[in-house]
């Protein structure tokens, strides 16, 4: 039955339907198909409380606007834009000495959102003295809420990990790399103090299995294919032997035991993204004339040709973020009067921005929108449900003029970085600049990030907050 | 008397005082000094309505965060951040055919904020068919409100001009350039149809004198030093002969006739900015090693040395934006029971970002904060006062990691553009990247911009708006 519903969701969400209509369509699908009475029943009890936190990784206002312009048109509105609450959130980071650092990574920011403390770049669920920070997921689970994590990243990646695990460095995803070694051509120290060989709680993958999270869905299968130091059995097999239902594709997800803990891992690392640039093109450098090669300020340049976005053939039968969200909410709300905490991450808005692929980011913004529609449908049926959407940090992409503001002047104006000129469905040409670095991966940036909330957020969030305040708001909402 | 008050304001605002304290200090200064009973009297009449619109040019979330980090510290709050209403505003632009354009300039956006219609880049108070768009200032004046404009730009520059004038191109600032000619090494077409020689309303400077604006304060003296085609008398002399009080420095501003229309022009072009980088330094390129010069992806680079911000010696006795705001509110509210519309622009947040000078932008963000404090003090004393702060468009500056997120990897990571590493008062190092173009001036960017409002904005603004909605909100507030 749920399979039919998911197909319906996918049909609805494959085109750009305005949020309101999408939510209504989802609602009627749910009602018509009668998926899980627990999911559908409006909870009368005041005891029931739910927090659904959606994180768009790197989803700053440039990316929000990129998504709006492409998916809805410059005069249109995202589902996000229809939410009644909007705020700005300051991202805080410190160095080892506690001094402010003005640009964050996903590990320290997710740790702050999950645990309310400001920490160092790279840290997962630990403070700068390497002490564990208890997370909202852990607190909620201890208070009887059912908890879950959904991500398009590997579930061992920084954002999901920071809600379930505690290690000194985000790279310590599995029992092998936690001991350090060669990584990206450099020596990686790992987190030997956290390793089980040394009496620690183990790698992120090991800690996820041991965590109270009832549902964990995303990528990262390869990290569970390692055995801990004291065993010949892989983590995945150990999970199964502990009664955890394991899914590795849509079929096994939908047929898995609905009452068991659920671990779904749908790709070796991160899930493939939905969209890509035509023929796999990304942002590119301009081509300069001979004079321009002599002096970059002179001569003329040719901009990269415009490109459309197209479906990424690698996406295939990957479950969408909306499908994973629907399954997670279904499992978390079965026979559960207490309520739930669910974190949903659209991870590759950021990853595709690192890779200078605006179409990739846009497709993952669409996925976030669809997951939000599912969350809002759940909230309509369960009144005491706080839905928040935010970003962890700002990112490199910038919408830049097409053509240049200086096109009439006798010197060329063009990016020193890489640019993609995206043909939008409404017939415009949206130029996206990536120029934080010449390195193969773009750098994050430091702007405050947006936060959006449903009506339950009224009085719960303020117009300006810090990420640690967002943690406190969720915590108070759940009465923790 | 007002002179003493202004000195007090300047004393208070020369250091970074938190908004709340600054407002309280301003309020007690006002009360103690008894400046202008009209300004101080709390208006009981329901008839009285005021709208104060502050525009930070280019003041997007990267710039807001730059300002917060420098002026208040990463854990601090700007006065803006204490406001009860915060929203996001989509910036809309069209080309000559009406197709969407994703990055704006200050002319078309100010035209939309002032007149509620989406138009082409470069247009001032005209639509894409070159028809005049009636502005909020004109409507308010016709309805009996007193109106004013304060800017740190030339008052003929795009943002202030769009509230008072109607020409086909922002460059048509005076009676000479309106006929076209050589400009920045290119042939400039001007706006001959708008010229008085051709039966038009004349250049922006001429239209400002003919506009209903009661107070116009800013830069741009040189544009009023031209004579119209049918006269030997300069525009400035003509203004005086029409009974307009003219001020060109702080002394003549403070001694000017308080009951006359007031034109204050305190610099030939834009007003000098308050801060600059140490020794006048701006963002700079990195210096590469020999191997790096052979291939930019290899070798090592040296980042520009960190720099402090310092007072700009050119600022001198230039009236601050807070002083201009205070004088404007004093003049607009004298013997006036109806109310007022005042637009205040901190223009050089944008101009200094074009010039890759983050200290320059930060000083002008501080000026915006101080002007906001004055506006909020006025609103405390006049309950029916809507105070809104927004930006016209996003800009190039980006806060980037310091050091790089990739510093441990064996390839260099550095901007292909220009970077400034600013020493913040709290002891951090904030790196600002400018890399939209190799042209001498940075390009604007396309993110939606923030909007902040006082409690009067509750129910007046929505969490997500377009710039034309902001116009409608102000219009409705004034009952126009």
pLDDT at B182: 87
Instruction: For residue B220, give the nearest of B140, B322, B149 by alpha carbon.
Output: B149
pLDDT at A473: 98
Tell me how crowded residue A204 is: count the other CB atoms within 10 A of its CB. Answer: 35
Residue A296: list chain B partners with CB under 8 A.
Answer: 438
Across the strands, what pairs with B217? B150, B264
Tell me how crowded residue B290 is: count the other CB atoms within 10 A of its CB. Answer: 8
- The single residue listed with the structure tokens 């904060």 is B369
Instruction: For residue A377, give the nearest of A4, A112, A23 by alpha carbon.
Output: A23
Q: For the stretch A242-267, what's the b/e string if a residue is b when 16 or more beta carbons lie within 10 angstroms of its beta carbon? A: eebbbbeebeebbebebeebbbbbbb
Task: Classify residue A460 by burial, with Cβ atoms within 10 Å: 0-12, 13-18, 19+.
Answer: middle
Q: How far is B199 from chain A (nearest CA, A)?
A: 28
A73 to B436: CB separation less than 8 angstroms, yes or no: no
A416 to B437: CB separation less than 8 angstroms, yes or no: yes
**Mutate which of B171, B183, B436, B442 to disrupt the A interface (most A C-beta within 10 Å)?**
B436
Residue A418 makes CB contacts below 8 A (sequence gap 6+) with A282, A283, A284, A285, A356, A433, A434, A435
Q: How far is A473 from chain B (nearest CA, A)?
A: 17
H-type alpha helices, B43-135: 61-71, 106-115
How far is B7 from B16, CA to CA, in rounded Å? 16
Residue in B with minimal Cα distance to A466: B75
Q: Which residues of B are catalytic?
A: 106
pLDDT at B46: 60
How far is B364 from B368, CA to CA, in rounded Å? 6
Report DSSP state, residue A84.
S
**Six-digit token string for A37:** 């009475």
Q: What whole-number percentage of chain A has pLDDT above 90?
A: 88
H-type alpha helices, B168-249: 204-210, 235-241
Contact B426, B74 (CB under 8 A): yes
pLDDT in tens, A471-480: 999 999 999 9
Q: How far is B51 from chain A (nearest CA, A)?
A: 21
Contact A129, A309 (CB under 8 A): no
Residue B369: list chain A partners with CB under 8 A.
Answer: none
Residue in A with minimal Cα distance to B435: A435
Which of B185, B412, B428 comes nearest A409 by C-beta? B185
Q: To 10 degrees, the CA torsion angle through B361, B367, B370, B375?
A: -110
Contact A291, A298 (CB under 8 A): yes
How far is B340 from B3, CA to CA, in rounded Å? 23
How far is B387 from B348, CA to CA, in rounded Å? 21
Contact B413, A391 (CB under 8 A): no
Instruction: For residue A432, give the nearest of A391, A394, A402, A393 by alpha carbon.
Output: A402
Strands B339-346, B49-56: pairing is parallel
- pLDDT-derived band at A46, boundaries 50, 70, 90: low
pLDDT in tens, A87-96: 999 999 999 9
Contact B94, B118 (CB under 8 A): yes
* Rounded mean pLDDT, A414-432: 98
A100 to B437: CB separation less than 8 angstroms, yes or no: no
B448 to A65: CB separation less than 8 angstroms, yes or no: yes
- The distance from CA A409 to its chain's CA centroid, rounded to whole angstroms, is 42
Question: Catalytic: which of A29, A36, A106, A348?
Answer: A106
Cα atoms found within 13 Å of the Cα of residue A178, Cβ hemisphere only = 29
A417 to B439: CB separation less than 8 angstroms, yes or no: no
- pLDDT-derived band at A183, boundaries 50, 70, 90: confident
Q: How far is B62 from chain A (nearest CA, A)?
A: 4
Instruction: For residue A267, give the nearest of A120, A111, A151, A132 by alpha carbon.
Output: A151
How far is A290 from B57, CA to CA, in rounded Å? 37
| DSSP per residue, B232-295 | SS-HHHHHHHTT-EEESSHHHHHTS-TTS-EEEE-SSSSPPPSEEEGGG---B--EE-HHHHH-
How far is B433 from B419, CA to CA, in rounded Å? 5
Query: Is the sign of the CA dihedral A444, A448, A452, A456 positive or negative?
Result: positive
pLDDT at A182: 87
Residue B466: list chain A partners with CB under 8 A.
Answer: 75
Residue A297: list chain B partners with CB under 8 A.
Answer: 438-440
H-type alpha helices, A336-357: 348-354
A426 to B100: CB separation less than 8 angstroms, yes or no: yes
How far is A360 from A97, CA to CA, in rounded Å? 37
pLDDT at B317: 96
Instruction: For residue B119, give the nearest of B392, B460, B453, B390 by alpha carbon.
Output: B392
Name the region of A98 (left: φ>0; alpha: ψ -120 to 50; beta: rest): left
Which of B401, B411, B437 comes nearest A414 by C-beta? B437
Residue A441: list chain B partners with CB under 8 A.
Answer: 406
pLDDT at A185: 82
How far is A346 from A79, CA to CA, in rounded Å? 15
How far is B243 from B346, CA to CA, in rounded Å? 28
Domains assigned to chain B: 54-274+313-396+452-477 (3.40.720.10), 275-311+397-435 (no CATH)
Report DSSP state, residue B96.
T
**Mutate which of B292, B446, B448 to disrupt the A interface (most A C-beta within 10 Å)?**
B446
Cα atoms found within 13 Å of the Cα of residue A401, Cβ hemisphere only = 24
Instruction: For residue A238, give the nearest of A268, A210, A201, A265 by alpha carbon.
Output: A210
Mean pLDDT by 10 residues, chain B (480 residues): 34 37 44 38 64 98 98 98 98 98 98 98 98 98 98 98 98 96 88 96 98 98 95 97 98 97 98 98 97 95 98 98 98 97 98 98 98 98 97 98 95 97 98 98 98 97 98 98
Q: Helices B358-381 and B19-33, interaxial angle, to 10°?
A: 50
Which of B69, B184, B445 comes nearest A398 by C-beta? B445
* Rounded mean pLDDT, A106-118: 98
**Mutate which of B59, B399, B443, B451 to disrupt the A interface (most A C-beta within 10 Å)?**
B443
Residue A396: list chain B partners with CB under 8 A.
Answer: 398
How far is A22 from B178, CA to CA, in rounded Å? 51
Cα angle: A115, vertex A121, A125; to 5 degrees? 30
Given a cut of 60, whether residue A157 has pLDDT beyond it is yes
* Rounded mean pLDDT, A38-44: 41
* Rounded mean pLDDT, A415-442: 98
Name the region of A223 (left: φ>0; alpha: ψ -120 to 50; beta: rest): alpha
B75 to A466: CB separation less than 8 angstroms, yes or no: yes
Alpha-carbon distances, residue B347 vs A37, B3, B446 (angstroms)? 58, 25, 18
Which of B88, B99, B416 comes nearest A86 by C-beta? B88
Residue in B with minimal Cα distance to A59: B447
Residue A274 makes CB contacts below 8 A (sequence gap 6+) with A311, A312, A315, A320, A363, A364, A366, A367
Residue A412: list chain B partners with CB under 8 A.
Answer: 438-439
Across the strands, what pairs with A218? A265
Residue A468: φ, ψ to 5°: -65, -25
Tell me how crowded residue A384 is: count the other CB atoms within 10 A of its CB. Answer: 18
């Amino acid at each position: 039955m749920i399979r039919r519903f998911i197909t319906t969701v996918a049909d609805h969400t494959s085109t750009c339907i305005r949020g309101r209509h999408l939510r209504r369509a989802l609602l009627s699908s749910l009602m018509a198909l009668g998926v899980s009475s627990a999911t559908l029943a409006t909870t009368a009890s005041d005891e029931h409380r739910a927090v659904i936190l959606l994180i768009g990784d790197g989803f700053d206002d440039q990316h929000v606007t990129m998504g709006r312009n492409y998916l809805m048109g410059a005069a249109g509105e995202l589902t996000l834009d229809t939410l009644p609450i909007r705020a700005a959130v300051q991202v805080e980071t410190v160095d080892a000495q506690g001094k402010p650092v003005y640009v964050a990574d996903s590990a320290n920011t997710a740790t702050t959102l999950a645990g309310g403390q400001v920490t160092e770049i790279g840290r997962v669920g630990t403070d700068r003295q390497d002490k564990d920070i208890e997370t909202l997921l852990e607190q909620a689970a201890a208070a009887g809420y059912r908890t879950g994590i959904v991500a398009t990243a590997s579930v061992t990646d920084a954002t999901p990990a920071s809600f379930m695990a505690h290690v000194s460095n985000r790279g310590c995803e599995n029992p092998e790399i936690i001991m350090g070694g060669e990584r990206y051509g450099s020596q990686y120290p790992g987190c030997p103090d956290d390793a089980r060989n040394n009496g620690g709680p183990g790698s992120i993958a090991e800690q996820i299995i041991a965590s109270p999270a009832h549902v964990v869905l995303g990528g990262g299968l390869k990290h569970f294919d390692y055995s801990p130091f004291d065993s010949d059995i892989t983590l995945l097999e150990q999970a199964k032997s502990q009664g955890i239902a394991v899914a590795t594709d849509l079929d096994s997800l939908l047929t898995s035991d609905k009452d068991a803990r659920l671990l779904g891992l749908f790709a070796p690392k991160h899930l493939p993204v939905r969209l890509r640039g035509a023929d796999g093109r990304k942002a590119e450098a301009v081509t300069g004339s001979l004079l321009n090669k002599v002096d970059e300020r002179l001569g003329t340049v040719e901009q990269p040709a415009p490109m459309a976005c197209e479906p990424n053939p690698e996406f295939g039968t990957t479950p969408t973020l909306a499908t994973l969200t629907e399954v997670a909410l279904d499992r978390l709300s079965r026979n559960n009067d207490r309520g739930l905490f669910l974190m949903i991450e659209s991870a590759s808005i950021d990853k595709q921005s690192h890779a200078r692929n605006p179409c990739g980011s846009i497709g993952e913004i669409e996925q976030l929108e669809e997951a939000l529609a599912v969350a809002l449908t759940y909230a309509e049926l369960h009144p005491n449900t706080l839905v928040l959407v935010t970003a962890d940090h700002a990112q490199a992409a910038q919408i830049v003029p097409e053509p240049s503001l200086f096109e009439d002047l006798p010197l060329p104006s063009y990016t020193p970085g890489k640019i993609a000129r995206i043909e939008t469905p409404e017939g415009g040409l949206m130029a996206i600049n990536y120029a934080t670095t010449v390195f193969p991966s773009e750098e994050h940036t430091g702007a405050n990030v947006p936060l959006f909330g449903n009506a339950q957020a009224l009085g719960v969030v303020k117009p300006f907050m810090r990420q640690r305040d967002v943690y406190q708001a969720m915590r108070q909402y759940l009465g923790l």
